[in-house]
Each structure stands twice: as C-alpha cells, then as structure tokens.
C-alpha cells in the first residue's frame, strides 16, 4: 500500500448522476492523489452513461467477489451479476435500486474487514431501493444496521459551517411531539465525541439552537427551551462538554461562521440545512456519525432529469472525498502508534 487512505466510492443509483460525478471527481489529478480508491460500480456504467468518462487515466478492474483491497491508484470493482440492460439512465427502476445496494454492502464489508478505511457514497433513490425490496429508507439507516450502531446522527459540513441534527425527516408537528431531553443529550455527546475523534478538536464548542423563535424568549413563544433543552445542556456541562445555548436560530449560524462555535446543534431538519445549503450548496457534505467507520456523502440526489447529459457538477463529490481524507488523518493522528519497536 502507498500509505494513503484507502477509500471506497459507491456510485449510487446507476441511473442517476452518481457515476458521472464519481468519474469527474477522479479525473481531477488533485483528487486522485489524495487516496487510493476502489470504485464500486462497473465499466458497463460508463458505456451506459455515454462512455469516455473514466478513460483519462488507467485503472484496474476486479470482480467484487475477488476484491482484496484498494491498490495504489484507482480500482474499479465490478458486479457481473447486475443486469445493466434493465437499467435506463434517468429512470427509476428496481434493477437500479438493487444495484445501488449491492455497491454499498460490498463497500461496507471491505471496511469492516480492514481492506478499506472509509466510504464515500454517491446518491441513491429511496423509491428504487424500496422497489427492489430493501427496507432501508436511506444510507444512514443502512450503515447503522450493518455496523450495529444504535447511536447515530446526520452531520453536515460545508464552507465555514458544521451542523448536526437532533431530529431528521419528520413533520414539524412531530418534532415538537417527540423531542426529548434524552434525545438532545445523546446528540450533544455524539457531536462532542465525533469532533474530538475525527476532526482533531480537543475541546469542541457546541452551539445549540432553541426550538422556538428567539429561543422561546423566556417562555413567551414556547416552553421547550426551558423544559427540554436546558436540562440536556446542564447534564452535558456536568460531563465536561462545552455547550452554549439554547440560542436563537436566526443568529447562531452567523456566530458559527465567525468561528464562535465548532458545530451547531439544530433541533430539526430545515433549521440546520437551510443555512448550510445557502452558504455552501455545491460543497456541503453529509456525514454519518456514530458508526465506527468513516462515511461521507454527496449532499444531492440522483438528479434523473440531467443524468446522462454530462452536465452534472462533481463539486460535492470532491468535497466528500476531501472530508473523508481529513477525517481519516485526524483519526490516525488521535490514535497511539501501535507499531512494534
């Protein structure tokens, strides 16, 4: 091995833009020199998407069943059993959904046995996965199940911001109904641990959003700050976690961009993602935290409407690769040298 991180890239739904953005990212010499890569897909994908996109550099191919780890450079891991004739670029299908899951599970297996150091995922399509008979609504749940991780969360990083979500995909009415002190405390602990382990921040500063306008304004606009969030912050402080809040969500992100906080803890999906997608839409990265492996992802969908046209922007894929490399380096720096004397 070259000593670089060994990263999997799963191309996502083969009918979407995942294969294109993966190829474009790896055609950038600056990206290619960051790691040794195993691309979980198939050379037939490049023909399906018009061909030529992977032809600018040399890579070796190996069937998934024979994959023994990333070699220096780029390895294309192929899946002969996938019926690409049943997949139409730009269209949802069970065949494409099944293929996308095959790529991910193979990459996870390689990480679990130490053949790879992390996974960078392309976009998958939830409807296609369900059509293929798989139960997972998305990557996060799949990775959690495969690594038997109960304590997970979605984190996003882009530009000057890092954000972690307490609740994910649910109606606002359900956020208010289900939010709990225990849930908030779980995310605070997870964010603190992740920034120490994977980002090299010895004492992370967590800025915590309130749920209501003006963080409730002393109960005038709601009581959740007092009854749910403050007790979680008090417990976190007792455990040595550096937390600030609850703070008004309409000002906390500006303070984070100015360097006051290392991460913002948002109570619900749009509270956290509107700011980061506004300031760093093309470069934001989705990170699964709470699993023992590095997993980063593009922060966009399959974009069936432009798939196969050659116009997809690889910026988010490049950012996801860079983030995985930085996380690997920070984790390696934090671990004691186990090399025998």
For residues 56 and 48, what is the distance between their CA atoms, to the nearest angstrom? Answer: 17
Q: How confident is the model at residue 66 (pLDDT cuts 50, 70, 90)?
A: very high
**Is there a shared CATH topology between the 1-150+288-341 domain and the 160-279 domain?**
yes
CATH architecture under which domain 160-279 falls: 3-Layer(aba) Sandwich (3.40)
Concatenate the DSSP letters of all residues of 205-259 into one string: EEEEE-SSGGGGTTTTT-SHIIIIIHHHHHHHHHTT-EEEEEE-HHHHHHHHHTT
pLDDT for the residue 57: 57
What is the per-residue pLDDT across 286-318, written as a single tens digit (0 to 9) for each?
A: 999 999 999 999 989 999 999 989 899 999 999
Q: How confident is the model at residue 341 (pLDDT cuts 50, 70, 90)?
A: very low
Q: How confident is the model at residue 339 (pLDDT cuts 50, 70, 90)?
A: very low
* Averaged pLDDT score across all residues of the chain: 91
> In the predicted model, what is the mean pLDDT of residues 120-144?
93
Report which of residues 237 and 151 the model is more confident about. 237
Is the pLDDT at 2 greater than 60, yes or no? no
Q: Report percent pLDDT > 90 for the chain.
A: 78
Q: Which of 39-53, 186-200, 261-275 has the lowest mean pLDDT?
A: 39-53
Closest CA to 106 of 150, 54, 62: 62
Q: How confident is the model at residue 43 (pLDDT cuts 50, 70, 90)?
A: confident
Q: Report percent pLDDT > 70 for the chain.
A: 95
Are the CB atoms for 200 and 333 separated by under 8 Å? yes
First-residue to last-residue Cα distance in the chain: 21
Q: How confident is the model at residue 336 (pLDDT cuts 50, 70, 90)?
A: low
Tell me how far CA of residue 219 lies from CA of 180, 234, 252, in angstroms. Answer: 17, 18, 19
Are the CB atoms for 168 and 269 separated by under 8 Å? yes
What is the per-residue pLDDT across 3-42, written as a single tens digit (0 to 9) for each?
A: 789 999 999 999 999 999 999 999 899 999 999 999 999 8
**Structural domain spans, the chain:** 1-150+288-341, 160-279
Q: Which of 87-101, 217-231, 324-338 has the lowest mean pLDDT?
A: 324-338
Are the CB atoms for 298 and 277 separated by under 8 Å? no
> In the predicted model, what is the mean pLDDT of residues 98-106?
97
What is the per-residue pLDDT across 242-255, written as a single tens digit (0 to 9) for each?
A: 999 999 999 999 99
In terms of DSSP H, where are the helices of the chain?
A: 18-26, 29-32, 43-48, 94-112, 126-131, 139-146, 172-178, 181-199, 224, 230-238, 249-257, 269-279, 315-334
Q: How confident is the model at residue 54 (pLDDT cuts 50, 70, 90)?
A: low
CB within 8 Å of 147: residues ≥ 6 apart: 108, 112, 291, 292, 293
> In the predicted model, what is the mean pLDDT of residues 210-230?
92
Report which of residues 156 and 338 the model is more confident about. 156
Is the pLDDT at 55 greater than 70, yes or no? no
CATH for 1-150+288-341, among 3.40.50.10130, 3.40.50.410, 3.40.718.10, 3.30.2320.20?
Answer: 3.40.718.10
What are the tokens at 189?
């602990």
């Amino acid at each position: 091995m070259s000593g670089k991180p060994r990263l999997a890239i799963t191309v996502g739904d083969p009918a979407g833009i995942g294969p294109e953005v993966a190829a474009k990212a790896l055609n950038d010499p600056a990206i290619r020199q960051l790691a040794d890569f195993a691309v979980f897909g198939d050379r037939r994908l490049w023909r399906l998407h018009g061909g030529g996109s992977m032809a600018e550099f040399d890579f070796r191919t190996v069937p998934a069943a024979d994959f023994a780890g990333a070699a220096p450079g780029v390895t294309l891991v192929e899946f002969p059993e996938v019926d690409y004739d049943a997949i139409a670029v730009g269209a949802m299908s069970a065949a494409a959904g099944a293929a996308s899951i095959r790529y991910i599970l193979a990459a996870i297996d390689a990480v679990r046995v130490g053949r790879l150091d992390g996974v960078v995922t392309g976009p998958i399509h939830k409807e296609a996965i369900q059509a293929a008979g798989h139960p997972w609504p998305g990557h996060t749940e799949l990775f959690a199940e495969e690594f038997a991780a109960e304590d997970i969360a979605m984190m996003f990083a882009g530009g000057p911001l890092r954000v972690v979500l307490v609740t994910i995909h649910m109606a606002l009415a359900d956020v208010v109904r289900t939010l709990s002190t225990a849930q908030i405390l779980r995310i605070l602990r997870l964010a603190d641990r992740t920034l120490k382990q994977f980002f090299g921040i010895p004492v992370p500063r967590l800025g915590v959003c309130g749920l209501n306008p003006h963080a409730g304004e002393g109960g005038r606009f709601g009581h959740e700050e007092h009854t749910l969030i403050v007790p979680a912050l008090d417990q976190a402080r007792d455990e040595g976690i550096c937390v600030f809040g609850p703070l008004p969500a309409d000002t906390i992100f500006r303070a984070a961009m100015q360097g006051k906080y290392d991460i913002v803890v948002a109570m619900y999906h749009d509270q956290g993602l509107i700011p980061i997608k506004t300031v760093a839409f093309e470069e934001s990265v989705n990170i699964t935290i709470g699993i023992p492996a590095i997993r980063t992802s593009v922060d966009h969908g399959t974009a069936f409407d432009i798939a196969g046209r050659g116009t997809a922007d690889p910026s988010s894929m490049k950012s996801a690769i860079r983030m995985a490399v930085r996380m690997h380096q920070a984790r390696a720096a934090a671990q004691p040298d186990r090399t025998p004397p």
